[in-house]
Each structure stands twice: as C-alpha cells, then as structure tokens.
Structure 1
Amino acid sequence: MFNQLYVGSILAEYTNLEEVSWDRLWTATQQTLYMTVISVILVFILGLILGLLLYETRHHQTIWSVALYKIVSVFVNIFRSIPFIILIVLLIPFTKAIVQSMTGPSAALPALILSAAPFYARLVETGLREVDKGVIEAAEAMGASKLELIFKVYIPESLPSIIAGITVTAISLVGYTAMAGVIGAGGLGNLAYLEGFQRNRASVTLVATAVILIIVFVIQFIGDRWVSYIDKR
C-alpha cells in the first residue's frame, strides 16, 4: 500500500502539466534550436576545413606540410579532449570579448563550436580516408587540380560519411546546449534546471527532456534519410 502511494505521488509530480509554462517552453526551445543550428553550420564549415587539412598533410613529407599537420592535429586533439563544461569556463574572457556577454544563447556559441569542430574534423578525416584511391589516382592522371580533387572527388566520394558525421555531431551539440543552459545560456537545459530541478517541478524537467529527445530524433531521422539518399553503394 505504501509503495503504491509513493509511486502514485511520483507519477503525480511528473504528470502535473499545470506547472509547465508553455510560453517559456517555446522560448527555451527556440533558444536551443538557435544554438544548435548556428553551431552546426559553423562546425560543418570549420570541421570540413580542418578535416581536409589533416587528410592532405598527413602523408606529405615537406617541412610545411609536416608543420601544418602537427599544428592542426594538436589543436584538434586539445579542444576535443577538454570537457565541454570546463571549456565554457576557460573561454569566458574570449566569449565576453566577442559577444559582450557571458550569458544567453549567443554566449554559448564559441564553446559549442570549439568543442564540436575538432571532433567533426576527425570524422571528416576518417571519411576521406575511405575514398577509393583508384578514383583519386584517375583524377590526378587526368590533370585535376587540388581544388578540383577536393570539390569533385574528395567531398562527393566521402559525402555519406560527412553527412553521417555531422548528424552525430549535431546530436552531441544538442546535449552540449543543455549543459550550457545550466550555467546561463538559456534553452531547454536552463529551463529543466532552473524551472524544473531547482523549483522541484518534475513535470517541467520531464517536458523539457521530452522536447530535447524529439529534437534529437528529428535530427537523426533527417541525417539517416539524407545518407540513404546520397549513398549509392
């Protein structure tokens, strides 16, 4: 009997939707989508550039190629290894100088980009390594320039891996936005923590979590369909 009452009280806490402010939920969702979309676009561009640099300079033996590879590799390894919550704190002076604020969705963007771009760069590099060497050699034999190789061979041939990689990265970024929200970036993480956890409103936390899950499922669905459409193998 006691267990039934206890379970019933827990369920009542999580299903009390009257505690949820739908206007605040919508605002928080917009903030999360803003942080995710902007950071995904910039991470895609920066990660693709870094991935191409890593791939192109990996086996070249000239002094400039070796130096560039080591610099990019160290940058990628360092920022990929720092936990996101620590990176936000480390970047506070940099963020304040750029955004003129330490709170809000825009203030989270530098940390989101610098944490995810190195991770995505490694995924791009891995995808480029899977490109058929025969296709590359054939393009080189026909006199293709370096830019032609990049835009007509490397990227098209590795596009399924590139899209799959940005899908995984985008999902990670949704989780990062939730962590950023806890320390003042806004979004669904901020709503779940401040309005839900700190005010003991379990239903608010549950609804915010559900919206985050929906965003993740939509990203995964779009990414999977995109890869299926592009991959002709």
Structure 2
Amino acid sequence: MNSDKDFKSYLLVSPKKIAILVKEELNPKEIYKKEIFVHTESNSINLEFLSHFLDENIFKIEKTFKRFIKNIYLIIDTNDFLPIKISIRKKDHNNTIDTKNLIYLLNEAKDQCQKTLENQRIVHTTIENYLIDNISYSSLPENKECGNFSLDIKFICISDKFIKNLENILKRYHISVNQAVSVEYLNQYFSQNEHKIFDMAEKIISGCNENEIIFSNKSSKNKGFFEKFFNLFS
C-alpha cells in the first residue's frame, strides 16, 4: 500500500456525533464519508465508542483505496476549550515592525500562557488587535513605523491529557494528528450561512484567517518561531 499523499483525512469527534471524511488532495471531491450519532446525555466524548467507530472505518478506507492513513486533521466539538487573552507591549520601538519583533512578542505571549496554564495544549492562536501608537488595527499594516506597539492575543487551549487520549487511540492505527481544530472557533469565525463543518475546518487549516498564527515545531535558529509570520515577511 501507498501512503496518504494523494488525499486528506478529517475526523470529527463530539459527545453526540463522530464522523470521518477523506478528500482528494487536489480535488474537492469527497471519496469517503461516514458519520454516526451517539445517543447520550453526557457532554463527554465517549472514547470507547470512538475506538469502535475507527475499527469499522479505518481499515475499510485503507483496504478500499489501497492507501494507508498516516495523518489526520482532528476537529473537536466540546465545551472543554479554555480561551485565554493576553496583551503584550513593545515600548520605545521607534522603527518599522518586522518579523523579528513579532516573533519575539508572540513567543513571549505563548510562554506566559503556558506558564499560567500548565498541562494545557494551545490549539488556536489569534491576534485580535494591533495597537500601534495608540491606534487600533484589525490587521497588520505594511511597512509601519512606530514608537510603541502592542498585540492583543487570544489562545484557545484544551487539556493536554484530553488531546493525548485521542492521539493514543489514533496511534493504534499508526495515525498521527496533523492539527487540531475547535468547532466553537469555527462557528465564531464563519458566518451563520456556513454549515459544513469539514469545509470550515479545511478553510481554517489552509490559512483563511490572516490573524491566526500557526506555530511550527520545525527547528531553526529562531527556535519556536511562528511559521505563518515568518513566511509572510520573508
């Protein structure tokens, strides 16, 4: 069998519903979709039910398409996400805002968040406001010189144990999590006219929110840099 280079896989987990979707990499065509509803009053995701669902579908997908699923995008619908807001300031800057300045502030904010909330996994990081010389901007203006600037940053976190439980279940099928996405975050970002959860997740993963920061685990001389900003300004 070949690997999953030709398609993308998505897994939705929630207390009431579990679904899996496989799409072609270069084509919006859905080649496999299966969903099942869980009849329960609990607000917790049933991990045993999830395992049973994966048993029925992962091997079926791999056998049908003769492709191993190596990576998957995880879409999580739960009330357990925790939003954290941090404002961080650069004083006496007196220069153009560049990649190095942003990386420094973003990493400082991330470190503060992780120190404040131990055992939490950051799932989304967004810049909600740029305050440049006391003027607010919804997005970063290009080649902007300033004396002082600050960032209002929102982190959306979830229990690291919760994510690891899901990762451990997927490891039984030799599947790694590419990225986790919050359903609540998707619903807040998109309009009420957007109802297809997999389409919304794909747009977010593709970077449609210009103020969302995708943290990269790649090694570089700027350890812990934010890949999206690095690409934007390089």
TM-score for both structures, normalised by structure 2: 0.24
Give 1 or 2: higher strand fraction. 2
Structure having the higher Rg:
1
Give 1 or 2: higher helix fraction. 1
Higher RCO, Cα 8 Å, sep 6+? 1
